[in-house]
Structure 1
């Protein structure tokens, strides 16, 4: 399948890769000089799924930019590009990986497969003052959007508080795609963020840029 969906403006560029190829097929989509190093680096993962996610991210990044970029990670696990040409954020869920880039400001992205597990951890991330509206009669979609949006903000903030209940979504009625506001109460600044979202048949996607 490969490149599944993408969106590009002057400030951000995000894309989703659907993981259906074999490792061997994915490697052929990278520059020849990069393939050997990727094969070697993947050996540190014992999980085949983790290998596919790691490799698919590199292939997706290359397809977005049409040039080779090295991804490095901070001690906290936050990704950046080796040449600092773009801010980057990465996410993955079953069957998909997502990458967002910006040349001007920190970004965050999160993709979550549809599933009811989110209901079991509802009280860990939903605040009493948040309203969770159903999408097509199913509240699971909105719960996933709340979780995903807060993960997106967490990824984009510096030294973010891991308590997702310190982030509050404004009231919104989910549509297939749109934007809503998220207020953070984790810092003295108490910033407000605009978060874009899309609902697909088997996942939700959220993204933001901190200007």
Structure 2
């Protein structure tokens, strides 16, 4: 694997992105897995899904700077956690890249997506009409991906199933640039929580991340 991006947001939060260049066998040789993880790995479809799962675990080992076994189970909602470390964790992957975010400040969420024009066909499925009004015509695809990554990052951060990108999350108007921040309101169970979500272009990918 090749580390292509390492960033410390502050003393409590950092993330990294790796380019996956190894085979599944090479990645597996860098890990120790328990019986549950071995079973999960067997149940994954071969190819990218297996590579993504293995790569995030290898990258997690790199960020935690250990060669020891890392227990990283998922809760009943599918959210990963680290019972033996003081960090909250978020995992992401897209095509040839894997990403991991760690924070001792609070829950965190990270999303990486390759940029393709297919997002134009689904924009009404994750953005309300009032959100679509501030999307730039000149940078439409990139801004749509920034919005998607922001909602996905907050979805991972809050950790509960049943949260709708369209109905429960609202992004406030913002002007798109290659690296920026937006404000997202999460409306759930009669309460509103507000998050600052950072986004940036990474090669031909879009990255979004937030800390609670």
Task: Judge same fold: TM > 0.5, yes or no.
Answer: yes
Post-superposition, which runs of at least 4 consecutive aligned residues in structure 1 deviate over 6 A?
A: 35-40
Q: Which of 112, 132, 136 is matched with 1:133 structurally?
A: 136
Q: TM-score, normalised by structure 1?
A: 0.88
Aligned length: 205
**How far apart, in 2, do the equivalents of 1:45 and 1:11 lie?**
33
Deviations 1:154-199 (A, max 9, x none): 1111436421122121222222212111112224331210111111
**RMSD over aligned Cα atoms:** 2.1
Deviations 1:102-135 (A, max 9, x none): 113111111111112211111111111111125x
Structure 1 residue 94 displacement after superposition: 1.1
The equivalent residue for 1:6 is 6
**How far apart, in 2, do the equivalents of 1:124 and 1:181 lie?**
19
Deviations 1:24-58 (A, max 9, x none): 33244x26xx2797777532323221110011001
Unaligned runs of 5+ in 1: none
The equivalent residue for 1:23 is 24
**Equivalences for residues 52-71 of structure 1 within 5 A:** 52-67=51-66, 68=68, 69-71=70-72
**How far apart, in 2, do the equivalents of 1:167 and 1:35 lie?**
36
Q: TM-score, normalised by structure 2?
A: 0.87
- Give the 3-state SS of the residue equivalent to 1:184 in structure 2: strand
Structure 1 residue 87 displacement after superposition: 0.6
